[in-house]
Amino acid sequence: MFSIFKRDPTKKLKKQYFAKLEQAMLAQRNGDIKTYSELSAEADEIDKQISKLNNSLN
C-alpha cells in the first residue's frame, strides 16, 4: 500500500556504478590502463551487487 514511499535501494549503487565507469573512461583516455582496469573491475562488482538486489526484489 505504501510502496510509493519506499526508497529504491539500487539508486545509490547505480550512481556509484556510473561514476566508476566515467572515472575509468577518463583514465583510459589519459593512457593509464592499470587504473582503467582497476576501476572497471570495481564497476563490475557494483553491477553484480545491483543485479543481486534486483533479483531479490523481484
Measured distance CA(15)–CA(8) in Å, rounded: 12
**Cβ-count burial 29-49 (b if 16+ within 10 Å, e if not):** eeeeeeebeebbebbeebeee
Statement: residue 1 has pLDDT above 60: no
Q: What pTM did the predictor assign?
A: 0.82
Asked if 23 and 31 count as a contact pair (C-beta separation under 8 A), the reply is no
pLDDT of residue 3: 64
pLDDT per position as a tens digit, 15-38: 999 999 999 999 999 999 999 999
Measured distance CA(52)–CA(42) in Å, rounded: 15
All cell numbers assigned to 35: 587504473
* Domain assignments of the chain as residue spans, ordered by start: 8-57
* Average per-residue pLDDT for the chain: 91
